[in-house]
Structures are given as structure tokens and as C-alpha cells.
Amino acid sequence: MNVDRMLNGLLKLAIAVAVLAGGAMAVLTVLDRTALDQQASERRALLARNAELNAAAIAPGSALACLDGGAGETIESACEKQVFADPQKAAAAVAYMSARLALLADAQAFMQTGGPGLGNAFAVSRRAVELDRFGIAAHVLATRDGCTAERCPAYAWLRDSGVLKANLKAQAFDTYVARYEAAWNKEPEKPTPIASAPAAPPAAIAGLPEQPTGIPVPSKYDFPSAASIPPVSIMNAEPPLPKEQGAKPGPPQASPEADNAVPVPPKRPQTQAVVPPPR
């Protein structure tokens, strides 16, 4: 009986241990799956941020692609005028590079916690920081993270930090801003107004010969004065014209006696005898 009891006790203990082990395995499986799902979610979020930055760089009319480098000195020199064309575009370039640096920092932290490698996915961002065209990355790291040429956490992400250190030491971004600051503060030129044509004198409008101004009139011409012209009022009736001026020739009017007279028929033409020709 004692042996049976011992066997039953051992069997119950084994079952309990198996149940606990099974539960622990289930919990570990759920935790691992949750961790994998979380890593997959973080990975997708990082890739989505990278795709948004790449799309902003290649958007029509955008000069942000100049910050990624690799286009050559000739193109990058032309891009300089576009990046620093006005303060708004320069501020947009700083914000773009700041987003690139934040993305690289998050990707580095993700890979250090055991996440899958994303080195190739962020090659463009790493290359843009390493080239640091116009010193914008150095400016962001100096103002945001307090980096110096001797010490900066971003050096661990990069394969070559020589350009970044040089730009931090020389403050290259401030040099570019000082170069274009005068053009930003320059007031835009006002358009020159178009000169209008001189007004025509009253004589030309009325169809009369124009009297040149500034030339004295010879004394042989006598013009009536304003006092000799009688005033004219539009409220009074116009005076009648003189007979010799107002009378106009018209058709003769028939008298009443002529209307009552009997018309005289016209005379008939008299026929003359035809003289026969001589035989």
C-alpha cells in the first residue's frame, strides 16, 4: 500500500511538473511571438520613414536630393543656389537632414536590440551624413546633440566621419548662410512704371489746327476778347436768325387761285402738208 501511494504521489508530481512546463513553454512562445511582432512592426515603421524621406528628396521642384550627394561637383554647385535660395528652403534642408539623422539613430538602436539587420536599407541616409554637403548634418548634430569635432555619438554609425568632423570644426553651414544672407535681406526691385502718352491739347481734340505754345501771336491778328462775347444761357430760347441767313430757298408754292383754275390742255402740234418730191 505504501508503494502504491508513493507511486501515485510521484505520478501526480510528474503531471504537475509537465503542466507547469507546458504552461511555461506556452508563455515563452507567446512572448517570443509578441517580441517578433513588435520587431516586425518597428522594422516596418523604420522602412516607412525612410521611404517618405526618399520620396521628399525626389519630389518635383525639390532641392533636397542635392543633400544626398553623389551627383558630382558641377551639379552640386548648381544645387547650392537652390538650397540657399531663400531662408525657407534653407530651413527645409535643415529639417530634412535632422530627420535623416534621427532615422539613423533609431535604426542603430533597433539593430543593437537584436533586430534584423537594416544596414543596406539606410545606405542613402548614411551616405548623406558622411558626405555632409553644405555642413548641414554637422550643424544639426552641434545644435541638437552638442557634438564637437572631437566627440559625437554619431561617429559610431558612420564608416567615414572625416568630412563631418571637418565641418563641425569649420562651422561650414554658418559660412554658407553668411554668403547668402545679404541676398535674403535685399528688398525686391520695384517695377518701373510705364510712362503714359501725353494728353492731346483741346485744339487737336476738336479738329482745329493746334496753336504751338510758347510762340507769340503776331500783332496783325486781332482776336475778340471774352468780354465782347454775349453770355449765352441754355434756359432762354435761341434768338431767330436774320432773314438773309435764316431764309432758305424752297420749292414755289401754288396760290389758291391757281388751284381753282381749269387746266388748259396743251396745244396740238400742227401738221404740215408733205410736199411730194418733183418728178
Predicted local distance difference test score (pLDDT) of residue 69 = 66
pLDDT category, 205, cuts 50, 70, 90? very low
Owning domain of residue 166: 50-185
Please give the residue that has the higher pLDDT: either 181 or 270: 181
Predicted local distance difference test score (pLDDT) of residue 246 = 46
* Residue 231 within a domain: no
* Residue 200 within a domain: no
* Residue 198 within a domain: no
* Residue 41 within a domain: no
Give 183's contacts (C-beta < 8 A, 6+ positions apart): none
* Residue 110 within a domain: yes
Reported as a single tens digit per residue, the pLDDT across 36-51 is 667 788 888 888 988 8
* Residue 271 within a domain: no
Reported as a single tens digit per residue, the pLDDT across 67-117 is 876 666 667 778 888 899 999 999 999 999 999 999 989 888 888 776 666
Quote the mean pLDDT of the chain.
73
pLDDT category, 238, cuts 50, 70, 90? low
* Residue 241 within a domain: no
pLDDT category, 273, cuts 50, 70, 90? very low
- Split into its structural domains, the chain has a count of 1
Please determine, for residue 255, whether its predicted confidence score (pLDDT) is greater than 90. Answer: no
* Residue 128 within a domain: yes
Which amino acid appears at position 156 of this protein? A
Query: Whole-model pTM?
Result: 0.55
Predicted local distance difference test score (pLDDT) of residue 3 = 62
